[in-house]
């Protein structure tokens, strides 16, 4: 049975080498790797390539479950998709094998903890932002739309929302928001 590997890190400055080495050592004939957040499946093209390619009897191997998904819903969706295709999921660093009842139970527990960890990280980040704002250190990101220029183009040059959006390279909805108009 062919074994295919999937490696993922969250940021561009992180390295995939350790995961790839572990997957090769576990017998993966093909390894797909990417640098993308694991909180959502959007934008994870390498994972999608694997999911589309896998055939009945194949094995999808990861080093740890949190490399595959960071939310319980995504993890369950992926596992359901794999099961429907007749594909097993295994991890090199965790006793996960979706071909066994114990492996499935352990997978669910790890999924809950991965999501919990993500939620804790998000809460800590928000607390840090609130504290920085209270100290006047954090101002948020700089506005990406020049409100005065949008209004000037509307009033002085009599441009419509589409023309303003094209000229400033912003969305038309943003122009409407700035002008206080709601397009119906």
Instruction: Quote the pLDDT of residue 49.
Output: 93
Catalytic residues, which ones? Answer: 10
CA separation for the pair 91, 67 (Å, rounded)? 10
Instruction: Quote the pLDDT of residue 56.
Output: 95
Q: What are phi and psi of 4, to 5 degrees?
A: -115, 140
Residue 94 · residue 61 · CB < 8 Å: no
- Cα 127–Cα 130–Cα 134 angle in degrees, nearest 5: 140
| Domain architecture of the chain: domains with CATH | 3-118 (3.40.50.1390), 147-179 (no CATH)
Residue 10 · residue 35 · CB < 8 Å: yes
Residue % of the chain over a pLDDT of 70 = 98
Structure token pair of residue 49: 């390539």
Query: Does pLDDT of 111 surpass 90?
Result: no
Instruction: Quote the pLDDT of residue 181.
Output: 57
What digits encode the pLDDT tens for the residues 17-69?
A: 999 999 999 999 899 999 888 777 778 899 999 999 999 999 999 999 888 88
Q: How far apart are the first and last CA of the chain?
A: 57
């Amino acid at each position: 049975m062919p074994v295919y590997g999937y490696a993922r890190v969250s940021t561009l400055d992180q390295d995939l080498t350790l995961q790839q080495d572990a997957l090769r050592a576990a017998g993966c004939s093909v390894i797909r790797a990417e640098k993308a957040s694991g909180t959502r499946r959007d934008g994870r093209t390498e994972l999608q390539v694997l999911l589309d390619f896998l055939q009945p009897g194949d094995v999808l191997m990861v080093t740890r479950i949190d490399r595959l998904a960071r939310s319980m819903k995504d993890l369950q969706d992926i596992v359901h998709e794999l099961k429907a295709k007749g594909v097993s999921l295994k991890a090199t660093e965790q006793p996960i094998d979706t071909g066994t009842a114990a492996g499935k139970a352990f997978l669910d527990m790890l999924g809950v903890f991965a999501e919990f960890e993500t939620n804790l990280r998000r809460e800590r980040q928000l607390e840090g932002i609130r504290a920085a704002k209270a100290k006047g250190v954090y101002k948020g990101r700089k506005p990406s739309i020049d409100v005065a220029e949008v209004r000037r183009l509307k009033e002085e040059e009599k441009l419509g929302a589409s023309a303003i959006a094209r000229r400033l390279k912003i969305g038309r909805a943003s122009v409407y928001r700035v002008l206080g108009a709601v397009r119906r």
